[in-house]
Amino acid sequence: MPIVTLPLQELVDGFGPVPDGIELDVWDVEGPYARADEVAIAFLPFYFGGRHRWQFVHDLPNLELLQLPSAGYEWATPHVPGHARLANGRGIHDDETAELAVGLALTSLREIAAFQFDRAEQRWDARETRSLADRRVTVVGYGAIGSAIATRFEAFRTDVTVVARTARDQDGRHVHAFGELPELARTTDVLVLIAPLTDETEGLVDAALLAALPDGALVVNVARGKVVDTDALVAELRSGRISAALDVTDPEPLPADHALWTTPNTVLTPHVGGNTDLSIPRSLDLIRRQVAALAEGRAFENVIDLPVNQG
C-alpha cells in the first residue's frame, strides 16, 4: 500500500478521509523510515535543515514525489533522488508573504517600529512620516506570490510595476524583464523582492542597482537574502540614503556581530513570511490534491523541471 508521509501529526489528523489504497503516516525525516520501500510521497518539514536528512530521503526507493512546503526550491534541487519528482509549495504562502511585504513597507515608511521604541521611553513624538499611497512600487519576481504582492500594493493606491526574467503581458499587467531593472530603479520608491534564487538572480540587487535608487527609497526583501549584495546594502544603509525592510538575509540566521543588527533605517524579521496560522490549512489543501492525484494516477501539481543529472 503506498504511504504518504507528513511531518506533523496535526497534518495527518486534519487530512480527512483518505482515498482507498493510500496510507498516511507521520515522519519528520529525523531518522530512517521503517517502511522506506512503501513511501510514494514525502512531505518535508516546514523547517528542513541538516545534510544528514537527505540520506533518509534517498533511502526511499519507490518515492514518486518529494513535496516541499515552500515556494522556493533552490535549496532542495541538488538533493532530489533521480527517480523522484520535486514539487514546491506554490499557493501555500501567497497570502502570508504578500501580507508581510506590505506590512514591512508600512512599518518602515510609517515608522511603526520606531514609535514602539518611543513608547518604551515614554516619549510622545507625533512626527510626520511617509505614506505608502502614491509611491512608485517595483515588484521583482512575478510568480504566484509576486502577483499577490502586486495586487495588495495596488490596493494602497500605489503605482505598481512588475519585473520578471522575461518580458510579457500577464494578468492585465505588463511584466518587464530583469534587464530593464537599472532604468526602472531610477524612479522606484519601494523595491519589493520576491524573485526565486537562481544563478541569474543571485546578487541581482548589487551596488549599481542600489545606487540607481532615488534618495529615500525602500528595499523590501521577502525573497532570499542572496538576491541582494549584502555588503552593498549595508553601505547604503549606513550612509542613510535608503532604507530596508528585510524578512530574509545573507547569511541566515544573522550571526551575533553582523552589521544588519545595527544598521540605521532597517526593519528586520527572522524569515517568517510563510509562518502563520494559515500554513497548516493551506498545506492540507495542497496535500489533499497531491494524494488524490496519486490515488487516481493523475499528474502531480507544482512539479519543478529539474536537470537530467539531478540527484
CA-CA distance, 128 to 142, in Å (whole number)?
33
Known catalytic residue at 224: yes
Quote the DSSP letter at residue 205. B
Whole-Å CA distances, 91 to 59, 68, 97, 284, 299: 29, 12, 11, 11, 17
> Residue 117, exposed/middle/buried by CB under 10 A (0-12, 13-18, 19+)?
exposed
CA-CA distance, 6 to 63, in Å (whole number)?
14
Backbone torsion region of residue 218, taken as left when φ is above 0, otherwise alpha when ψ lies between -120 and 50, otherwise beta? beta
Which residue among 271, 288, 289, 301 is the active-site one?
271
Which residue among 111, 224, 236, 282 is the active-site one?
224
CB 94 within 8 A of CB 148: yes
Can you say whether the dihedral through the CA atoms of 248, 249, 253, 258 is positive or negative? negative
CA-CA distance, 15 to 285, in Å (whole number)?
9
Known catalytic residue at 252: yes
Give the residue numbers annotated as catalytic, written as ranges: 224, 252, 271
